[in-house]
Amino acid sequence: MGAKLLTEVCPTCATCGCPVAIAPTGRPRRYCSNRCKQKAVRNRRILLDVLTEIEAIRLGVALIDWTDEDHRVA
């Protein structure tokens, strides 16, 4: 019980589409490697930043650029 049949379709990586290894126990993997997992994290972060800027424009709110030297604390 719990063994995967060879006739089942192999899952693919959510980032690159390569086949993902199937473990006999535990949660199914979503990514083929840590590299793809990290790429997905970076892509989600970029998307969140873009959506935040769009929402700020829609609301007419100015975003503060914290990368400027004048805003740094000690």
For the beta carbon of residue 13, count every other beta carbon within 10 angstroms: 18
Asked if residue 15 has pLDDT above 60, the reply is yes
Separation CA 37–CA 70 (nearest Å):
35
pTM higher than 0.75: no
Separation CA 62–CA 49 (nearest Å):
14
3 confidence band (pLDDT: 50, 70, 90): low
Torsion angle in degrees (nearest 10) through CA of 53, 58, 61, 65: 10
- Of 38, 66, 39, the C-alpha closest to 52 is 66
pLDDT at position 71 is 58
